[in-house]
Structure 1
Amino acid sequence: MSIARRRFAVTFATAAAAVALFSALPIDGAFAQSAKYRLRYGTAFPADHPAVLRITEAAEAIKAETNGQVDIQVFPNSQMGSEPEMFSQVRSGALDFMSTSGVNQTVVPVASINAVAFAFADYTQVWAAMDGDLGAHVRAAFDKAGLHAFEKMLDNGYRNITTSGKPVNSPDDLKGLKIRVPGNPLWVSVFKDLGAAPTPIQFGELYASLQTRVVDGQENPMALIQSAKLYEVQKYIALTGHIWDGHYIFMGNKKWTTLPADVQASISKNFAAAAEKERADVAKLNEAAIGAMKTAGLTITTPDKKPFRDALKSAGFYEEVKAKYGDAVWTILEKYSGPL
Structure 2
Amino acid sequence: MNTTSRRSFLKLMAVAASAPSLTVISRPARAAEFTLRYANNLPGTHPMNVRAKEMAARVSAESKGRVEIQIFPNNQLGGDTDTLSQLRSGAVDLFTLSPLILGTFIPTAQVSGIGFAFNDYDNVWAAMDGDLGAYVRKQIGATSIFAFEKIWNGGFRQITTSTRAIAQPKDLQGMKLRVPPSPLWTSMFKDFGAAPASVNFSEVYSALQTHVVEGQENPLSIIYTAKLFEVQKFCSLTNHMWDGFWFLGNKDSFGRLPPDLQTIVRNAINETAAKQREDVTQLDRTLRSKLESAGLKFNEVDKGEFRKQLQASGFYSDWQKKLGPQAWSLLEKYSGKLG
* TM-score interval, smaller chain: over 0.9
Per-residue CA deviation, residues 295-322 of structure 1 (Å, 9 max, x unaligned), is 1121100100011000010000000000
Per-residue CA deviation, residues 189-237 of structure 1 (Å, 9 max, x unaligned), is 1000110000001111111110110000000000000000000010000
Q: Give, in whole Å, the separation in 2 of the partners of 1:237 and 1:19.
A: 28
Q: 2:13 — aligned with what?
A: 12
Q: Aligned match of 2:137 in 115, 136, 139?
A: 139
Q: 2:162 — aligned with what?
A: 164
Q: 2:334 — aligned with what?
A: 336
Write out aligned runs for 1:264-275 (5 A).
264-275=262-273
Distance 1:301 1:11, change over 3 A: farther
Q: Given that residues 37 and 70 in structure 2 are in contact (C-alpha distance below 8 angstroms), is that contact kept between their aligned partners in structure 1?
A: yes
Q: Aligned match of 1:296 in 278, 294, 297?
A: 294
Q: Aligned match of 1:229 in 227, 230, 251?
A: 227
Q: Kindly state the Cα deviation for residue 17 of structure 1 after the two structures are TM-superposed.
A: 7.8
Q: 1:3 — aligned with what?
A: none
What amino acid does structure 2 have at the position aligned with 1:271?
A: I
Q: 1:197 — aligned with what?
A: 195
Deviates more, 1:121-130 or 1:282-291: 282-291
Q: Aligned match of 1:62 in 59, 63, 72?
A: 59
Write out aligned runs for 1:46-195 (5 A).
46-101=43-98, 102-195=100-193
Q: 2:7 — aligned with what?
A: none
SS at match of 2:71: strand
SS at match of 2:240: strand
Q: 1:6 — aligned with what?
A: none
Q: Give, in whole Å, the separation in 2 of the partners of 1:220 and 1:289.
A: 13
5+ unaligned residues in a row in structure 1: which ranges? 1-8
Identity %: 44
TM-score by length of 1: 0.92
Q: Give, in whole Å, the separation in 2 of the partners of 1:197 and 1:274.
A: 38
Q: Give, in whole Å, the separation in 2 of the partners of 1:85 and 1:285.
A: 29
Deviates more, 1:61-70 or 1:255-264: 255-264
What amino acid does structure 1 have at the position aligned with 2:197?
A: T
Q: 2:206 — aligned with what?
A: 208
Q: Aligned match of 2:285 in 272, 284, 287?
A: 287
Q: Kindly state the Cα deviation for residue 171 of structure 1 after the two structures are TM-superposed.
A: 0.4
- Alignment length (residue pairs): 327
Q: Give, in whole Å, the separation in 2 of the partners of 1:208 and 1:103.
A: 21
Per-residue CA deviation, residues 94-118 of structure 1 (Å, 9 max, x unaligned), is 1111101043211111111110000
Q: Kindly state the Cα deviation for residue 331 of structure 1 after the two structures are TM-superposed.
A: 0.9
SS at match of 1:335: helix
5+ unaligned residues in a row in structure 2: which ranges? 1-9
Q: 1:317 — aligned with what?
A: 315
Deviates more, 1:161-170 or 1:271-280: 271-280
Q: Give, in whole Å, the separation in 2 of the partners of 1:103 and 1:124.
A: 24
Q: Give, in whole Å, the separation in 2 of the partners of 1:24 and 1:153.
A: 22
Q: Give, in whole Å, the separation in 2 of the partners of 1:259 and 1:146.
A: 16
Q: Given that residues 40 and 96 in structure 1 are in contact (C-alpha distance below 8 angstroms), is that contact kept between their aligned partners in structure 2?
A: yes
What amino acid does structure 1 have at the position aligned with 2:227?
A: K
Q: Given that residues 16 and 46 in structure 2 are in contact (C-alpha distance below 8 angstroms), is that contact kept between their aligned partners in structure 1?
A: no
Q: Give, in whole Å, the separation in 2 of the partners of 1:17 and 1:295.
A: 19
Q: Give, in whole Å, the separation in 1 of the partners of 2:17 and 2:264.
A: 23
Q: Give, in whole Å, the separation in 1 of the partners of 2:295 and 2:25.
A: 38
Q: Given that residues 16 and 45 in structure 2 are in contact (C-alpha distance below 8 angstroms), is that contact kept between their aligned partners in structure 1?
A: no
